[in-house]
Structure 1
Amino acid sequence: MALSKTSQQLDRLGMTASTLCAVHCALVPIFLTTLPLLGLEFLSNEWVEISMIIISVFLGVLSLSMSYRKQHHKLLPFFILFTGFALIGIGHFSGIESLEPILIPLGGFTVAAAHLVNWRLNKVCTHTAKH
């Protein structure tokens, strides 16, 4: 039961981090001119975005791996997670600026969806690895 609680906490943290990342990526371009006035210009720094992506990757892989091995043995959350990070990667690194404000938030919400699917699979799964 301890693994399930830890995994659920990681999924909640992952959903929160991914959603915040998506909101950040959607709103920063809109408020870019006002960030310096508010003392928040660091939010538009590329390293902040890359750090958020790295944290989300770490949380996602850790949480989903724990659940996969000990709980539900389903690959769907991984597929959704990697689809989300592919969208983020294409949006962030493709160099096509018109895609960035669409793909990155979509990718962030997709990563959050992977955690949600994982969390729901854990809640439905009432057995341990010895099923």
Structure 2
Amino acid sequence: MLMRKIFTHYHNLNKVGLWLSILCTVHCLAMPFLLTSLPYLSKNAISEQSEILLIGVSAGLAIFLLRKDYKNHHNSTPLRLLLVALIFNILGIFFVPHAYEMFFNVTGGLLMASAYGLNWYWHKRACHSTGHQH
């Protein structure tokens, strides 16, 4: 019953996804400062695992929500933006030299947050035009 209610009215999941993307971006920006000020913490123990977890959870939620909303508002821009964000994040974690990792991950996080924000905009427009309440 509870799960049905959550997936029927999932507006709050959009907000959770947006905040996960923002948290990922803040993490990517803050990590160099944390590593500099707390040298006894290993970068590998914190950064790579937490980046993969944050990006993975946020991406999974984004794929679910944006695909579900696409069926209502039929605007593919948030999905395309999400795809670009995921490409940046995957490149940043696995393929680019360490010197460029932060740029790719921060850009990916910002693009993912933008995809959520744009999706929320189109979601609200679709709900408004059909009379659905948030």
TM-score between both structures, scaled by the size of structure 1:
0.82
- Opposite residue 25 of structure 2, the aligned amino acid is A
> Where has structure 1 moved over 2 Å in runs of 4 or more?
2-5, 33-38, 41-44
Once the two structures are superposed, residues 21-73 of structure 1 have per-residue CA deviations (whole angstroms, 9 ceiling, x without a partner) of 011011101220334669xx9533x222111111011110111111112x201
Shift of 1:14: 0.8
When the two chains are superposed, the root-mean-square deviation of aligned CA atoms in Å is: 2.4
SS in 2 for 1:74: coil
Shift of 1:77: 0.6
Q: Name the structure 2 match of 1:87.
A: 88
SS in 1 for 2:99: coil
Say which structure, 1 or 2, has more relative contact order (CA 8 Å, 6+ apart): 1
Distance 1:93 1:105 in 2: 14
* 1:31 equivalent among 27, 31, 34: 34
Across the two proteins, how many residue pairs are aligned to each other?
A: 123
Change (3 A) 1:92 1:27: same
Q: Name the structure 2 match of 1:16.
A: 19
Q: Name the structure 2 match of 1:49.
A: 51
Runs of 5+ in structure 1 lacking a partner?
A: none
- Opposite residue 98 of structure 2, the aligned amino acid is E
**Higher helix residue share:** 2
Query: % of aligned pairs identical?
Result: 30
- Opposite residue 14 of structure 2, the aligned amino acid is D
Q: Name the structure 2 match of 1:61.
A: 63
TM-score between both structures, scaled by the size of structure 2:
0.80
Runs of 5+ in structure 2 lacking a partner?
A: 1-5
